């Protein structure tokens, strides 16, 4: 339990950039652990992989589908950028990937196409569209870029290194794996600097194919 008090201004990139006050006098326990839910989370469901499917957005702790009114390639392109799924191939409408459940976000999204996240796009109306789940928007991204994630850890920024390529998540072997390699992974995922580099014994062996081996980064 890290008991230091963080005093962030709100414009820092990572929490380690915030000022801290030693918390040695605090009486913290497991019940004092903090948590957070971020807005604007995005996922694709019902598709062939993580880079195709029905668009769903998390708002106020609720996942909802996106209305397809005025949904076009520019909007779909931003979804692909947001999910690091490469260039967009197609913008789908009329529940192409099946009808979702629950909430429907009926705002009209007007993206220019160069935004990196869907919540950076302009919203032209709020809840005025007569949408049902038959109007759920979808997207197909090319997924031809290499993607990276950390699996089996306690959060987004720790875990087993896995690479997505050619439609499948695979493993990185620990031959020559060192702190410089780990530091590059952390920077790519916008997780700050590496604290440690582990072999397969820390987070277990993944089930996918070996996609990379003998990685040797300069680390600069």
Write out the CATH class of domain 41-141: alpha beta
pLDDT at 116: 81
Question: What are the backbone dihedrals phi and psi of residue 121, each rounded to the nearest 5 degrees, phi first?
Answer: -80, 155
Quickly state the pLDDT bin for 132 (edges 50, 70, 90): very high
Q: Tell me the per-residue pLDDT of 118-131, one tens digit each, with 9 for 90 and over.
A: 888 888 766 566 88
Residues 46-56, mean pLDDT to the nearest whole number: 88
Task: Give residues with Cβ within 8 angstroms of 183, minimum separation 6.
Answer: 193, 194, 217, 219
Return d(Cα 77, Cα 85) in angstroms, integer.
9
Return d(Cα 205, Cα 220) in angstroms, integer.
28
Residues 72-79, mean pLDDT to the nearest whole number: 93
* Residues 46, 47, 48: CA angle, nearest 5 degrees: 135
Report the Cα 107 to chain-centroid distance in Å.
Answer: 22
Q: Which CATH superfamily is domain 147-212 in?
A: SRCR-like domain (3.10.250.10)
Inform me whether the pLDDT recorded for 114 exceeds 90: no
pTM for this model (two decimals): 0.54
Return d(Cα 23, Cα 147) in angstroms, integer.
38
Residues 143-160, mean pLDDT to the nearest whole number: 80
Inform me whether the pLDDT recorded for 24 exceeds 70: no
% of the chain beyond a pLDDT of 90: 22
Long-range residue pairs from 194-203, CB within 8 A, at least 24 positions apart, any chain: 199/174, 200/160, 200/173, 200/174, 202/160, 203/151, 203/152, 203/153, 203/159, 203/160
pLDDT at 44: 93
Mean residue pLDDT of the chain comes to: 83
- Where in the sequence of the chain do the CATH 3.10.250.10 domains occur? 41-141, 147-212
Task: Give residues with Cβ within 8 angstroms of 77, minimum separation 6.
Answer: 87, 88, 111, 113
pLDDT at 40: 61
Quickly state the pLDDT bin for 133 (edges 50, 70, 90): very high
pLDDT at 16: 75
Return d(Cα 182, Cα 79) in angstroms, integer.
28
């Amino acid at each position: 339990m890290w008991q230091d008090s963080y005093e962030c201004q709100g414009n820092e990139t990572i929490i380690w950039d915030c000022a801290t006050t030693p918390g040695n006098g605090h009486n913290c326990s497991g019940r004092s652990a903090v948590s957070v839910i971020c807005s604007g989370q995005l996922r694709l469901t019902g598709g062939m992989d993580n880079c195709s499917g029905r668009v769903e957005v998390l708002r106020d702790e609720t996942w909802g589908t996106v209305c397809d009114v005025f949904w076009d390639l520019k909007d779909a392109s931003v979804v692909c950028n947001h999910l690091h799924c490469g260039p967009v191939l197609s913008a789908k409408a009329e529940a192409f990937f099946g009808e979702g459940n629950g909430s429907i976000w009926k705002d009209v999204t007007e993206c220019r196409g160069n935004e990196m996240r869907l919540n950076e796009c302009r919203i032209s109306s709020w809840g005025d569209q007569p949408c049902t789940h038959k109007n759920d928007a979808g997207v197909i991204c090319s997924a031809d870029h290499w993607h990276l994630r950390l699996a089996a850890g306690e959060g987004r920024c720790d875990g087993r290194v896995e690479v997505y390529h050619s439609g499948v998540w695979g493993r990185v072997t620990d031959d020559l794996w060192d702190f410089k390699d780990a530091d590059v992974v952390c920077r790519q995922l916008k997780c700050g600097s590496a604290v440690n580099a582990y072999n397969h014994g820390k987070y277990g062996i993944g089930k996918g194919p070996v996609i990379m081996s003998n990685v040797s980064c300069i680390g600069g």
